[in-house]
A and B are shown apart, each in its own frame.
Chain A
């Protein structure tokens, strides 16, 4: 089954404790992306990757890191999480970037206390 998977689905952590949210897709897509969703703000793009070893900042990259060492995986790293990073996070992938629709993972609900 074609899908985007994320882990964990739920995470509660404390300020400053480094964490990684994993994302994997099995559709051989070139493009992968991370979003955060906050009430009233819709989905905002954090980082995106057009291909392996190519990553770019989205609209809200501060406090996040990503890496794209393999085509299928695109982990999101929070080196020192803060309470304002409490949010619902989605990973997505598409065949290419411009002009192609994105397929979303199930989401990761992160709470930073």
Chain B
């Protein structure tokens, strides 16, 4: 199946700091998605990316996928305690592929 490498695996940051995580794929995709999963819940969509090179924002979140369409990043600015969770990148085709996740811990 499709390989999706997500990094870093985990992050421990102070409240107020900015966060950056990224994802690379072995194939080209035209739709990239970023999800967040809270403990005991299903993933929830944060941002959907449809156009390579275009920056998309959702509040304190910003994401983009590259011109090569094989990589994407997600930035979170001024982190707060409720940002804690696991963040997944995902690729949307007939099949959906998810990265292995980045676990974020925010220290108050």
Contacts and interface: CB of A to CB of B under 8 A. Distances in A.
Interface of A: 4, 33, 35, 40-45, 48, 50, 56, 58-59, 90, 92, 97-107
Nearest to A44: B98
B92 interface: yes
15 contacts: A42-B88, A43-B43, A44-B1, A45-B97, A50-B94, A59-B1, A92-B42, A100-B31, A101-B45, A101-B92, A102-B33, A103-B45, A106-B41, A107-B40, A107-B41
Contact of B42 (A40, A42, A106): A106
Interface residues of B, number: 26
Nearest to A57: B95
Contacts, number: 67
Given A42-B101, A107-B40, A107-B41, A102 B94 contact: no
Given A99-B30, A106-B42, A48 B88 contact: no
Contact of A99 (B31, B41, B44, B98): B31
Interface of B: 1, 4, 6, 30-31, 33, 40-45, 48, 50, 88, 90, 92-101
Contact of B92 (A35, A99, A104, A106): A99
B1 A98 contact: no
Nearest 9 A/B pairs, CB to CB: A104-B42, A59-B1, A43-B98, A42-B100, A99-B31, A42-B98, A101-B45, A97-B94, A101-B48
Interface centre among A4, A99, A105 (most CB of B within 10 A): A99
B42 A45 contact: no
A98 B93 contact: yes
A41 B1 CA distance: 13
A90 B93 contact: no
Contacts of B97: 45, 59
Given A90-B43, A107-B40, A43 B30 contact: no
